[in-house]
Structures are given as structure tokens and as C-alpha cells.
Amino acid sequence: MAASLQAVREAALDGRMHNILTRRTQLEALQQALLDKADTIQGAIRADTDCAAPEAAVEYLLTLNTLKEYHQSLNIDGAHQDEYAIARGEDAASRREPVGIVYIVPTSYTVFYSVLVAVAGALTAGNCTVIELPISTQALPVLIKNLLESSLDRSTIAFVPTPATNEDLGPQHMRLHQDDHLPAAQFSFGGRSPYAPDIVLVNEYIKEQFLIALVRASVSFPPSASAIQGDERRPEKDHQEERGGLRVVSSLGRGKIVEADQLDPKTLPDKPTDARLLVHTVRSLDHAIDLSNMVGNLQGAYVFAHEKSAKYLTQFINAHVSFVNHIPVEVLVGPTAPKQVALDRSVRYPTTVFSVPRPHYIRPTRLSQSVTDILSTKSASALQNMLVLQSSQLVCRTRRPLGGGVGFFEQGILTGLGLFSISILAGVSSLGYWAWTMVEKHEFRM
């Protein structure tokens, strides 16, 4: 076992962070450290990432906001009520306990926000943390380490320059890998956000107007220093993309806009080196769904359409999260949300990620009483009566609602039935007219 992790393992075993007051004071100390170093933090973000000053400010402010959200979630009175629920004769069905140690492997994208919110989330859930932070000459890793060590209990947090083994961490731990190897393309934050769009599908009737608006928007983002240094090789890259079936619409400003006539998932970058937005036209909603699902299981989908069309698209596009008629810019900062929980736009890591359910029950359920009665029954007739009674309570007919909206599928069915009914009605009407004519002729002959 690594000697540097001995103190953290002992703190996790002792439950050092289980006390809610300790967690609140630790978060308050971390908040104060961030407030005291506001300028230094933003300067380090800009130096390491080459982002613009407003982007550094956004990352810093989002970090502060997340710490505030975590702090407000620690309700002392509520925690006291939960702790003594059994003593009051009440169930504690929602009770949870921390994992013990959260081992964090940071992403290189918006690393300040990503590491800080992960640490704060683990702390709020009552855990100790170990961060894998390789030795680096960059400003942010050193700053993050100094901030956390100076503000938090040194026995509850540790840093390792190389991967720690399961034996080093002990049995009570979980690993959080903030994967940064996901495709992305966007003009802000260096084009590396995992929630930024890789491809834009636009209706063919408005493609030209959309491209014009997109070029104007891209020019409003000034080029970064790295983009300016890479201008010498830009014509060569543009030529390579054109040979691959892509047409470069614009490479002005910070981002590049590329148009594709036919979508090939292989043309999407595995790890983009610049801000690139791929535009592809679609003929219909179903065409957009087919193309989206051909790309794969999307990290996120942004749908701009009428509400009914948006409902249809989001229902059948395979995406972990969908946003309709808006792009929440705050999700572009930080790593991807864990797959086992729904994305929270303000808190990337819900505390349930860092805890496990440990419910306590004191009140027996009605089912428990029924099962006990059945097991204690000696008479066969009494047992049969109990089974009949229990079985009768399971049958419940489902009534189809009379109202409700008509969706795309229902609309198609109704249209088909309507066309079928028209032909039947025409046939029935013709048959009626023929019968009536024959009757009149028969009466005339009579």
C-alpha cells in the first residue's frame, strides 16, 4: 500500500466525513479559498488552455455555483431527522452511505471545473478523495493541488502521480474516470466539450440561410493564439477535407464550418484538434432520425423545431440527453455526466453517484402480514380463501383514456383508416344507389 494513502484509508474507515457539520465547514473553506484566489485561478485557466477571458470567468463562476449547490443540499435538520428515524419508529427507506474513497482520474478538458466539482460532490456525500494528478509544468495542476490541500482536511484528500491499485485504495472505493476521448466540435472552450455538437442536421430548404447565419456567428469569435499559429497549414487541411467529400464553407474566426453531402461516420473526428462544425442537410424528420442514429448513441442532442416535431425527434433519436429549442451553455463546461444518472444542468455529479443505498426499515408492510398469515394457516379451506382474496385484488382492468393528443403514429393510423373508410364508403354508397335503382325498376314493372 502506498504510504501517502494510509491517512486517507484510515479517515475513510473512521467515517471522518460522515458528520454533516464537518462536510459543510469543509465546503465553506474550499469556497473561501476559491474566492481568495479568483484572479490567480482565472489566469491559470487562460495560461493552460489558451481560452478567452470570458470563458475562463465562466469556468470559475460555474465552479463556485456548483459548490454553493452542494453546500445548500446539506440540510442539518433533515440529516438529523433521517439519522433518528428508526428511534422514532419510522422507516428510513432513502438512507444512503458514502462509498468511502472516491478515486478521480481527471479529464484534460476544463480541468479546474472538472476536478473541483468532482471533489466537492464526493465530499458532500461524505467521502474521502484521491486524485490521480501526474507531475506537470502547467499552472493548473499545481494550483488545484495547493488549493485543495490548504483548504481541506489533509487526512481526507491525497494526490498520486501514477495510477493507484485496488489494494492501495482498499475495498471501499470507487473510480471516477472523466473521459476526454469523446468527439466534439464547437467554437467556444477550444472546441473540446463532450456536449458540443459534432454535426448539425438542417432542413434542405433553409440550408443556405442557415450557413450564412452560421458564418456570421463564427466570425464573432476571435481566433485563439493556437489557431493563428496553425494558419500556415490550414489550406493543406482544407484540401484534404475536400478530397474526403467535405466542403469547407468557412475557416474564418475561431471555428471551421464544413459541409457534407453524404454523411460518413468515419469523417467525424475521434479527438478534434480545432473547432469544427459539420453541416448536413436532411429531407424530413425521419431522415434526420436515421442519420443521427447512424452516427451512434449520442452524448447529447439539440433539437430546434415545433414542439410536436421535437417530441417525435427526441423520442426516436438515441441520445443520453436531449435539449429542445435551447442550448444550455453551462453543460459545455466539464466532463460527461455519469451514465447511471440523468444529467443535471447545474450539478454535474449528483451525490447519489458517490454513495450507496443503505435503507433501514422498522414497519412491516401489509404484504409481510399477508405472507405471515398464509404461512401460519393450518386449515386448507382457510388457505384457499386467503389465496382467492389475494388473487382478486390483483385483477384491475385498464381503461383506455378518452382524450389525449394525437401523435405522429396515431395520425398516420387515422389517415390510413380515413383513406380506407373513404373507399369503403364509396363502395357502400354505390351499392346503396344500385339497390335503390333496382327496387324502383322492380316496382315500376309491378
Position of cell 440561410?
209
Report the mean per-residue pLDDT for the chain.
80
* Burial 26-45, CB ≥16 within 10 A → b, else e: bbeebbebbeebeeebbebb
Higher pLDDT pick, 358 / 432: 358
Q: In sequence order, what are the residues at sequence separation of 6 or more whose Cβ sits closer than 8 angstroms to the Cβ of residue 184? A: 191, 192, 193, 194, 195, 196, 197, 198, 272
Of 409, 197, 215, nearest to 304 by C-alpha is: 197
**Is 2:105 a contact under the CB 8 Å cutoff?**
no
Give the pLDDT confidence score for residue 161 in this predicted structure: 93
Per-domain boundaries in the chain: 2-180+350-357, 189-230+237-332
- Helices and strands per DSSP (H, E), number in the chain: 16, 12
For 1-5, 334-338, 388-392, which range has the lowest pLDDT when averaged over its residues? Answer: 1-5
Q: Which three cell numbers stand for residue 209?
A: 440561410
Give residue-wise pLDDT tens across range 213-257. 888 877 776 665 544 444 545 555 555 555 456 788 877 666 678
Q: What is the mean predicted confidence (pLDDT) over 145-173?
A: 93
Burial class of residue 116 in the structure, from the number of CB atoms within 10 Å of its CB (0-12 exposed, 13-18 middle, 19+ buried):
buried
Give residue-wise pLDDT tens across range 57-90. 999 999 999 999 999 999 999 888 888 988 999 8
Look at residue 373 and tell me whether its pLDDT is greater than 60. Answer: yes
The proportion of the chain whose per-residue pLDDT surpasses 70, expressed as a percent, equals 76
Give the pLDDT confidence score for residue 196 in this predicted structure: 82
CA distance 118 to 176: 9
**In 3-state terms, what secondary structure has residue 240?**
helix
Q: What is the mean predicted confidence (pLDDT) over 257-276?
A: 65
Q: What is the pTM of this model?
A: 0.78
Look at residue 139 and tell me whether its pLDDT is greater than 90. Answer: yes
To which H or E segment does residue 411 belong? Answer: helix 408-445
Q: Give the CATH number of domain 2-180+350-357; options: 3.40.640.10, 3.60.70.12, 3.40.605.10, 3.30.365.10.
A: 3.40.605.10
Question: How many Cβ atoms sit within 10 Å of the Cβ of residue 69?
Answer: 16
Q: Give the CATH number of domain 189-230+237-332; options: 3.20.20.150, 3.40.1390.30, 3.40.309.10, 1.10.3210.10.
A: 3.40.309.10
For 33-47, 146-160, 268-282, 358-372, which range has the lowest pLDDT when averaged over its residues? Answer: 268-282
Look at residue 20 and tell me whether its pLDDT is greater than 80. Answer: yes
Look at residue 13 and tell me whether its pLDDT is greater than 70. Answer: yes
Look at residue 424 and tell me whether its pLDDT is greater than 50. Answer: no
